[in-house]
Chains A and B, each alone.
Chain A
Amino acid sequence: MSSSSYELGRDVRPSDLTFYYLLKGLAWGLVLLLLAMVGVIFALSWEALSHFGPGFFFDPSWDSWREQFGALTFIYGTLVTSLIALILAVPVSLAVALFLNELAPSWLARPLGFFVEMLAAIPSIVYGLWGLFVLAPFLRDHVQPPLGQYLGFLPLFQGPPMGVGMLAAGVILAIMIIPTIASISREVFRSVPATLREAALGLGATRWEMLRLAVLKASVSGIVGAVVLGLGRALGETMAVTMVIGNRPQIDWSLFESGQTMASILANQYAEADSSLHLSALTAVGFTLFVVSLAINSLARWIIWRMQRVN
């Protein structure tokens, strides 16, 4: 997209001018609001950041009794749960999008597509409740035992099956971001020109080969965009994760273990932090979450920009 500036002509109407400045003011207002928010969060974090120094980001301890705080545990928790979510959600979302767009007859594609998009409208507390009462016991009884049995040689799948924990959080996040990734991917696939599909079919591609050659290849940058939006949602998701992750600030290789994300530690402790250093450390975790999200989004934008330039 190219940014274009609205050229004000010679004899412009006063009402147009008012409108122009109103919109311009609103746009700048949003930028200022963002900067102000970052500024306030940074100021509130300053006590902890200056007290612990850069070590704050690499320190796994979180001890309000001894007032020793570090963000590493939560950075780890956020990244790992989001990664699990992506690993599960991306293939499923792409498969759903391809099926709905390319294979399903329209009498089936419409209701199914609507249903997938409705998943995005479910409040996250409802996901959390479902996760706690349905998903976690299901994982504990039917998923984690076989995982431990067959893949238990990996440190990821060791220890007693407990249901709640990092795996449950990752699975819940996956379900929550599938509608985002799937519906954007559908738009991306739809925007592939018919001439490309015909080029592939004309060469004697089967349906699947046509999808691979014409649709998927042409959609890579769009899919990256869809995945990043999903990732953005996963990184910041709070309520549902807090309810199923077990809420123990620890770094453990096993995905069966409890953990804590940046968002979930904030939800858990913000109301009960009583020392100002504790409060500031929590804010610093929030600040870190903001920076991580921003960094990942920028990275993705950069990837998309580069790929579009190559093509």
Chain B
Amino acid sequence: MELIAVKKLEAWFGVFQALKDINLSIQENEVVALIGPSGCGKSTFVRCLNRLHEEVPGARVAGEVWLDGRNIYAPGVDPVGVRRGVGMVFQKPNPFPGMSIYENVAVGLRLGGVSKRTVLDEKVEQALVRAALWGEVKEILKRPGTSLSGGQQQRLCIARALAVEPPVILMDEPTSALDPISTAKIEELIQELKTKVTVVIVTHNMQQAARVSDKTAFFLLGELVEYGATEEIFTRPAQEATERYITGRFG
């Protein structure tokens, strides 16, 4: 089933147009990788999927993004509500300082108005289990989130995003600041997540895209050049630019 449909999406930073006429559709429980040279608009694109792009001063969006049958850019839609239903994981692990591991995971639930201790306990544990972190932190839930290692912090951020059980989770180069072992853990995790959520992941690592994703989108200079099954893109790209990029003969 189609979960996300992007139609004629355009995005600007002031007068600079970062995305041009993007059209793409994402099915439920798919992992979609976004690849492309840096500066091509991958981050801008994922940030349009949860209306985060518009938080940058001077930034603007046009077009439609249908999420679960609703256009999130329709007039009157509250961006805060949209973001509550979409998880996001960033390039650098960013747990909230001054908050325990537990509180970091619970924060989204609390924003959503959950305050019953038993419910929180259960959902926090669930999210940590799904983020493959529970075993490492179940004894130290009261410690600051920032006291964990980088890889653990990133899984904590994944747990934080998962806690509210969003149908989609956006990841913007989630492993680029991590060591290979932590990276492997997170890639494995993504495979497990996709039984329940749809993952859109930006990566500049082609092997990673090939390993984790079902579909791959190749961006270049703010345009979507090619989108299709990952296997196709990596073995028989239709566009020459795509081939040049994935074979490393770019620029």
Contacts and interface: CB of A to CB of B under 8 A. Distances in A.
Interface of A: 193, 195-196, 198-206, 209, 213-214, 217-218, 220, 310-311
Contact of B96 (A201, A206, A214, A310): A214
Given A201-B52, A204-B111, A205-B80, A196 B94 contact: yes
Interface stretch (B81-89, B123-131, B222-230): B81-89
Contact of B97 (A201, A202, A218): A218
25 contacts: A193-B94, A195-B91, A195-B92, A199-B94, A199-B96, A200-B96, A201-B55, A201-B83, A202-B50, A202-B83, A202-B90, A203-B108, A203-B160, A203-B161, A204-B85, A204-B111, A206-B80, A209-B111, A213-B107, A217-B96, A217-B98, A218-B96, A218-B97, A218-B98, A310-B144
Contacts of B137: none
B80 A204 contact: yes
Nearest to B55: A201
Nearest to A105: B57
A188 to B, nearest CB: 13
B44 to A, nearest CB: 13
B99 interface: yes
B112 A204 contact: yes
Nearest to A205: B111
B75 to A, nearest CB: 19
Interface residues of B, number: 32
Interface in B105-120: 107-108, 111-112
B98 A220 contact: yes
Contacts of B112: 204
A198 B52 contact: yes
Contacts of A206: 80
B157 interface: yes
Majority SS at the chain A contact face = helix
- Which of A199, A205, A310, A311: most chain B Cβ within 10 A? A199
A218 B111 CA distance: 18
A202 B147 CA distance: 22
Given A204-B83, A204-B84, A311-B146, A217 B107 contact: no
B83 A203 contact: yes
Contacts of B91: 195
Contacts of A217: 96-99
Contacts of B94: 193, 195-196, 198-199
Majority SS at the chain B contact face = mixed
Nearest to A195: B94
B97 A203 contact: no
Contacts of A202: 50, 52, 83, 86-88, 90, 161
Contacts of A198: 52, 55, 88, 90, 94
B197 to A, nearest CB: 15
A213 B94 CA distance: 12
A104 to B, nearest CB: 13
Contacts of A311: 97-98, 144, 146-147
Given A217-B98, A220-B98, A311-B97, A199 B84 contact: no
A220 B98 CA distance: 8
B20 to A, nearest CB: 24
Contacts of A201: 52, 55, 83
Contacts of A196: 94, 96-97
B92 A203 contact: no
A72 to B, nearest CB: 38
A75 to B, nearest CB: 34
Q: Closest 3 A-B residue pairs measured CB to CB? A: A204-B84, A202-B88, A204-B83
Interface string B39-71: 000000000001010010000000000000000
A276 to B, nearest CB: 54
A60 B164 CA distance: 61
B19 to A, nearest CB: 18
B84 A203 contact: yes
Contacts of A310: 144
Nearest to B83: A204
Nearest to A196: B94
A195 B153 CA distance: 14
B167 to A, nearest CB: 14
Nearest to A216: B98
A53 B184 CA distance: 70
